[in-house]
Structure 1
């Protein structure tokens, strides 16, 4: 009789454990998160020291670049080329951008290989040979067009190396965004 009770208890326990395992199998896996459809600015460059790069952007509701409309990207310096992707927040279509290429006064020269604008599968690539057609360096940058290298020129305590856009980039922004700006 004892053996029948033990055997019955064993089978009852086994049945309960099996049911619990089956319940666990029926739990649905969480749905994969849908990624935002953002306007991206990708910069391919060689930057040898750690730094923080900044992309400022404007949309038609903004008349000037401000701290609120920025994307920061901290990166580690390397001897080889790196890719930096600035993703502008979802729902914002830029009509102008500004690229702050360094925040470190002791940064070595930076070589820019390409800048690519992309949105919803449309892209526009600015190769190094065409960089000055679309962007202009400010007074804190000496830019060698042949090598596509930016050397930085601090002026006393001031240091703010920036690539501003030229009017030619606005046509590219319209084509990539699919929106008349």
Structure 2
């Protein structure tokens, strides 16, 4: 009798928690879906083998102070031995001039292999596959390029002990962004 009551309680708690999860799911309205579709989107396809958080900063004019936290988008990255899309969707009506991609906060991160970099805005897109990424971005002193032709990088601490691996966009990327947004 006690076993049956115990199992009945477990089943009921599963059913009620499942129902509650369904209630908490928010469906996107058509307007929200359209806003996302029309937002500036950056996709970095990379193999990241340790859980991490990547961040994309953007500046909207040429004379903006250093990148601001308010002008950034975070994406949680789950570890995988396979390439995955790390997608940054900028807020509606934000058109960047320059971007910076921070390659994580996890100091235990292993080698990262960059397969592709892509930007989309409405029906226009720009893509840089593999090592072409380095034509548009410059690493800081917390990133070492291990194999340039295979686009393999390693996050490291700087000589002063700082861990902040990132890539700044080059003028060439600025030019590509301008082609997308005009």
TM-score between both structures, scaled by the size of structure 2: 0.77
Give the 3-state SS of the residue equivalent to 1:176 in structure 2: helix
Q: How many angstroms does 1:141 deviate by?
A: 0.7
More helix by share: 2
Q: Bigger radius of gyration, 1 or 2?
A: 1
Please say if residues 103 and 155 of structure 2, whose CA atoms lie closer than 8 Å, have aligned partners that are also in contact: no
Q: How many angstroms does 1:64 deviate by?
A: 2.4
Give the 3-state SS of the residue equivalent to 2:69 in structure 1: coil
Equivalence for 2:174: 170
For residue 30 of structure 2, the aligned residue among 33, 38, 46 is: 33
Q: Equivalent residues in 2 for 1:81-92 (5 A)? A: 81-92=83-94
**Distance in 2, Cα, partners of 1:106 & 1:113:** 21
Q: Which runs of 4+ in 1 moved over 4 A?
A: none
Equivalence for 2:81: 79
**Distance in 2, Cα, partners of 1:31 & 1:175:** 30
- How many residues align? The count is 149
Equivalence for 1:145: 148
Q: How many angstroms does 1:62 deviate by?
A: 3.1
Give the 3-state SS of the residue equivalent to 1:68 in structure 2: helix
Give the 3-state SS of the residue equivalent to 1:38 in structure 2: coil
Task: Indicate yes or no: 2:63 matched with 1:58.
Answer: no
Equivalence for 2:49: 48
Q: How many angstroms does 1:166 deviate by?
A: 1.0
TM-score between both structures, scaled by the size of structure 1: 0.78
Q: RMSD value over aligned CA atoms?
A: 1.7
